[in-house]
Amino acid sequence: MPTTHLLYLHGFRSSPQSAKAQIMAALVQQHHPGVTWWCPQLPPSPQAALALIRGGIAAWPRDTMAVIGSSLGGFYATAVAEECGCKAVLLNPAVDPARDLAGFIGEQSSWQDPDERFFFEPHFIDELRALQAGPLKIPAHYWTLIAKGDEVLDWREMAARYASTPLQVLEGGNHGLSDFDHHLPGILKFLALA
């Protein structure tokens, strides 16, 4: 079934202005104008981020919606897909952000706008732990893209967590997937938007 509603979730310190989010937004607008597209600016609080997401997709059809998540957004996308039973595309997804972001407590700046500051609170770590999804209920609902050259996250950990899903592991690459354009055909095919 073709995807009718598509949610994009950006990573930590990122925004809807990220290169991948912008590429996907333009592609949907140009080639699939009937698809409902939403890429919200996620608040730093994981609990608030999931509340925002749940509210925004509450009326979406579960059988034809899908979510794309990058890095921390991939962690959130997993939580959404497990709750909704929808398809998910994961791009270098964070596996244990509670551990990985413990060193980032304090004031942070946005990648896309360094003047934009936010505070990452200590209790956000507990919020991340509370959102950790268990074993994947329907691994075939996922399509996972992992770069061995990811300089932020360990590709082996990602590959192990999502080993049961359709998995594409890239030799080289980087955390931001600067060659994202090359992977669009696979993503669109998985979402039945090709």
Binning pLDDT at 50, 70 and 90, where does residue 159 land? very high
pLDDT at 63 over 80: yes
Contact present, 166 and 145 (Cβ < 8 Å)? no
Phi, psi of 3 (to 5 degrees): -70, 130
H or E element, residue 81: helix 72-84
- Confidence at 34, pLDDT banded by 50, 70, 90: very high
Which range marks the domain in which residue 116 is found? 5-190
Handedness of CA 87, 91, 95, 100 (dihedral sign): negative
**Residue 2 Cα to chain centre, angstroms:** 20
Tokens linked to 77: 């996308």
pTM of the predicted protein model = 0.95
Alpha carbons 120 and 134: distance in angstroms, whole number: 25
Domain count, the chain: 1
Residue 113: name the closest of 183, 10, 9 by CA: 10
CATH of the domain at 112: 3.40.50.1820
Task: Please tell me the predicted confidence (pLDDT) of residue 11.
Answer: 93
Query: Over 80: is that where the pLDDT of 119 sits?
Result: yes
Residues 112, 113, 115: CA angle, nearest 5 degrees: 160
Please report the pLDDT score of residue 29 as a whole number: 96
> What average pLDDT does range 129-138 have in this prediction?
95
